[in-house]
Chains A and B, each alone.
Chain A
Amino acid sequence: GQQLNQSPQSMFIQEGEDVSMNCTSSSIFNTWLWYKQDPGEGPVLLIALYKAGELTSNGRLTAQFGITRKDSFLNISASIPSDVGIYFCAGQYRYNTDKLIFGTGTRLQVFP
């Protein structure tokens, strides 16, 4: 089945550093979503992007919907220990669709 290419697979950074991760697809998506998963929990939505070129922020998080509609990136500024977790991108082919295609995840570790 299709999965999105997400990179990097893992990151080990020091507290205060900025983080950048991205997701690419061979298919065009109408919506890009970024989720975070903490250990032992389900994914929680961080940011949703609905238009090509859109740049959206949520606190220290910023995500962009690529202009080609085949990619998206997520930046985290001034990382803190609670940013630890797995970050997933997900794409939807059309609005109100019942199917999300998930990326393989980026595991983030933050050291004090």
Chain B
Amino acid sequence: NAGVTQTPKFQVLKTGQSMTLQCAQDMNHNSMYWYRQDPGMGLRLIYYSASEGTTDKGEVPNGYNVSRLNKREFSLRLESAAPSQTSVYFCASKTGGEFQPQHFGDGTRLSIL
């Protein structure tokens, strides 16, 4: 009963390094999302994918790229990490149709030194 699985759970990077965060869901959901969560703030949407083959910018896309590899997987890439990208990153997914909530993974804690 995995749901939404994120890897890695923790990562420390140096400024300028690149990194790809992985997300996979086993619920056959159409839509997938990447959020970041900073202290004292709610989750903010970085990118989302409404269906396989499509991606769109969210609220805070700068410095990130995404790939919807297939229906199951949605990755988030930091090409040149900056200290401002230190955060907890959450992936979520939902099925189509009205009244369907988003299901979240347990997060990736990323520190940029």
Interface residues of A (CB under 8 A from B): 1-4, 6, 9, 31, 33, 35, 40-45, 48, 50, 88, 90, 95-96, 98-100, 102-105
CB atoms of B96 and A103 under 8 A apart: no
Which interface class (under 10, 10 to 19, 20 to 34, 35 or more) fits B? 20 to 34
Q: 0/1 per residue, B37-70, Cβ < 8 Å to A?
A: 0001111110010100000101110000000000
Given the contacts A40-B106, A42-B105, A98-B56, A48 and B44 also touching, CB distance less than 8 Å:
no
B contact residues around A9 at 8 Å (CB):
40
Given A96-B97, A99-B48, 19 new contacts (CB under 8 A): A1-B44, A1-B60, A4-B42, A31-B99, A33-B101, A40-B106, A41-B107, A42-B4, A42-B90, A42-B92, A43-B104, A95-B99, A96-B96, A98-B50, A99-B45, A100-B43, A100-B102, A102-B43, A102-B44
